């Protein structure tokens, strides 16, 4: 690569790939665009004359930018979204273009982004680059400032968290997943009858965000009415494993706001524990119920 024009042309051809890496790293379309722009500024100031694989080189630059952004986010205490910001995030999600929503919700997967949000910055970078984009550990090691062996351990720890084994047998897992899916579908549509059908008559909802007596609500009718009034929140929810069992996570733009632990008795939801306190959210184990959408190799 011997000219700035050629570098710019290659960068433009790789932009979609680089944005995909950054989106999985950061969980935000806007932040991903910022990371790609910063990567271009760094690349344009570097000497790319001896680079054999330009896309791989550009990917490592994006990885370093994203790692810096993730570390800055953690220093500001933004691993989990403060509940006070929920309404603004909901409005932002509702105002997003259909294209942006499709990229975030389908191509990447809000469940994956929510689970990744619980990882440390270096773990997230190592997992995304290696497991989703097949970047070698030698390259990842240079990004995270560790040895290749240490980078491999980072990815392994992240993988075990992202793909943790459920705490229930396969048959129970499938049954509970069907109940979770039915509850989520009814919640998104605000279908009161469907909610009553999936809730146990004496179901209880507990929340660490509300003061008594709202912190604890008992009875299918009251829970169904409350849930039917929160369809915007339900549209941002995705099924995940919460502490090893099927549950839900609410994650605007892939940033964890709420985790819902569901107690399932037979084919109905018997209890809903809403966890929104940041300190408690940090203790919750989130992992995927489904495989992540495939990503392209670099």
Based on the structure, what is the number of domains in the chain?
A: 2
**Per-residue pLDDT tens digits for 114-155:** 899 889 999 999 999 999 999 999 999 999 999 999 999 999
The band of 292, judged by pLDDT with boundaries at 50, 70 and 90, is: low
* 150/9 same-domain check: yes
Assigned token pair, 239: 């099924």
132, 44: one domain: yes
**Quick check: is 292 in a domain?**
no
**What pLDDT, in 10s, does the model give residues 144-160?**
999 999 999 999 999 99
Domain containing 57 equals 4-78+120-161
- Asked, for residue 38, whether it belongs to a domain, the answer is yes
What DSSP assignment string belongs to 88-129?
A: HHHHHHHHS-HHHHHIIIIIIIHHHHHHHTTS-HHHHHHHII
Give domain status of residue 94, yes or no: no
The answer on pLDDT for 86 being more than 60 is: no
256, 231: one domain: yes
Q: Is 171 exposed, middle or buried (0-12, 13-18, 19+ CB in 10 A)?
A: exposed
Structure confidence by residue, pLDDT tens digits, 74-83: 877 654 444 4
User: What is the C-alpha separation between 298 and 295, in angstroms, rounded?
Assistant: 9
Residues 140, 239 within the same domain = no
Is residue 278 included in any domain, yes or no? yes
Residue 92 lies in a domain: no
**pTM metric for this prediction:** 0.81
Q: What is the CATH number of the domain that holds 128?
A: 1.20.140
């Amino acid at each position: 690569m011997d000219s700035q024009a050629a570098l710019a042309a290659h960068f433009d051809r790789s932009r979609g790939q680089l944005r995909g890496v950054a989106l999985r790293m950061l969980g935000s379309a806007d932040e991903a665009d910022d990371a790609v722009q910063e990567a271009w500024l760094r690349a344009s100031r570097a000497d790319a004359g001896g680079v054999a694989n330009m896309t791989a080189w550009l990917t490592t630059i994006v990885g370093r930018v994203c790692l810096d952004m993730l570390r800055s986010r953690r220093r500001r205490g933004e691993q989990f979204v403060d509940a006070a910001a929920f309404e603004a995030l909901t409005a932002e999600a509702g105002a997003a273009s259909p294209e942006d929503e499709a990229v975030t919700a389908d191509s990447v997967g809000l469940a994956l982004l929510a689970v990744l949000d619980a990882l440390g910055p270096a773990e997230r970078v190592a997992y995304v680059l290696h497991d989703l984009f097949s970047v070698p550990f030698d390259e990842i090691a240079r990004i995270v400032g560790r040895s290749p062996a240490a980078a491999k351990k980072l990815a392994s720890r992240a993988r075990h968290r992202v793909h943790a084994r459920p705490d229930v047998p396969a048959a129970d897992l499938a049954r509970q997943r069907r109940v979770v899916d039915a509850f989520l579908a009814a919640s998104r549509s605000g279908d009161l009858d469907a909610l009553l059908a999936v809730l146990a008559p004496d179901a209880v909802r507990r929340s660490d965000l509300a003061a008594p007596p709202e912190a604890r609500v008992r009875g299918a009718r009251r829970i169904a009415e409350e849930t039917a009034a929160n369809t915007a929140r339900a549209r941002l929810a995705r099924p995940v494993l919460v502490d090893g069992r099927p549950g839900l996570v609410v994650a605007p733009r892939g940033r964890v706001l709420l985790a819902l632990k569901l107690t399932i008795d037979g084919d109905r939801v018997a209890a809903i524990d809403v966890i929104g306190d940041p300190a408690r959210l940090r203790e919750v184990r989130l992992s995927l119920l489904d495989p992540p959408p495939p990503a392209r190799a670099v």
